[in-house]
Amino acid sequence: MTIVLVLALFAALGCAYWLVVRPWLRARPRCASLWARIDAVEAALWARSRTILWARLYTVAGAALAAYDVAMPALASLGGTSWETLLPERYRALAPFISFALVVTGQLFERLRRVTSAPVDTGPR
């Protein structure tokens, strides 16, 4: 349960930054050089496509689930520490498959978005 609260806190902080702090900072003339560099990084990361960004975040979520629910039990057994899984008991055996499916479908979403970036031909049939 603790991990869910931490993730909710990160989500709330991210939303607060995106909806309040970022527009406020963008309106400041002293930050113009900083935003020029940030815009260049943003353009390199997702080429101004929100759907590609969401596909990449979806992929990262699958990889994070794999790292936490698949790799953590092995690391915990080596160190002798306890760990709290993200998945319910009945789905723990499926954790590798769920993680793999998230990563693969995230990559598929990104690839399909890149393929369909051109406008649809509306010429005569």
71-98 tens-digit pLDDT? 777 777 776 666 666 777 787 788 788 8
User: What's the pTM?
Assistant: 0.54
Q: What is the pLDDT of residue 104?
A: 92
Q: What is the pLDDT of residue 27?
A: 87
Tens digit of each residue's pLDDT (9 = 90 or more) over 24-73 = 888 888 888 888 888 888 777 766 577 777 888 889 988 888 887 777 77
Tell me phi and psi for residue 117, to 5 degrees. Answer: -80, -15
How many Å apart are CA 106 and CA 55, to the nearest integer? Answer: 5
User: Is residue 70 in a domain?
Assistant: yes
Q: Which residues constitute the domain of residue 92?
A: 48-117
Residue 87 contacts residue 69 (beta carbons within 8 Å): yes
Total of domains in the chain: 1
User: Is residue 95 in a domain?
Assistant: yes
User: Is residue 64 in a domain?
Assistant: yes
Q: How many CA atoms lie within 13 A of 108 on its CB side?
A: 6
User: Is residue 112 in a domain?
Assistant: yes
